Amino acid sequence: MLDVVRRRSTILAVLLSVTALALAACGTDDGDSSSGDGGGSASGGSDASARTVLDNGRTYTVEDIKSTGAKTPKQYDVADLPGAVDAWNALLSQKEYEARFYASHADAVSMGTSWAESVSGEDAVVVGDDVIWDEGAKDRRQCNRSVAHSGCNYTARYGDFVILGNMILLCEGKDSEEALNTCAAMTDLMG
């Protein structure tokens, strides 16, 4: 029980630090304040996300995802995802995730960040010719039907993502805050 309290306290401290960094970055015209220096940092984009980027020294695999009780119904072919060594679709507590694994934290940050940003958040590209990685593209979008018409308005399933060690975890949510809470639900279980 004490370990759970310590882990949650550590996560809360990291999130508070990330939020403080994100607020400090507001007002700059630099769209990316993340760093690969091994500490927690924030990436401030147009939505002022409080994304967690943390090199905790761990090397994650799909087994870490499965250890949470998540189902992993699909493994993606990563041949066209630069630097990635593995990627999976996962389901936990009726929420969807996409876990992308890299050889190192530095690779995840340098090669994976822009690819994850392109399919998450308000400005995500989830349909059409501008989708930069086709593998699993239909899993990264959801249909939001308007009352005015019967067609689909496709939006991003993943509101945001976190980078922990060598893993990028895209998390379901209507916005960054909800998605980061979804991410925390998974990462808390990984220990």
- Residues 37-59 have pLDDT tens digits of 333 433 333 343 567 899 999 99
The pLDDT tens digits of the residues spanning 81-95 come to 999 999 999 999 999
Dihedral in degrees, nearest 10, Cα atoms 58, 60, 66, 69: 40
Query: What percentage of the chain exceeds 70 in pLDDT?
Result: 71
The two three-digit tokens of residue 147, written as one number: 């009352």
- Mean pLDDT of the 60-69 span: 98
Give the domain range for residue 132.
2-190
Task: Quote the CA–CA distance of 96 and 72 in Å, as a whole number.
Answer: 10
Q: State the pTM of this model.
A: 0.72
Strands (E), 65-187: 71-75, 84-92, 95-102, 141-145, 152-156, 158-164, 167-172
Domains contained in the chain, number: 1
| Cα torsion angle, 10, 38, 68, 123, sign | positive
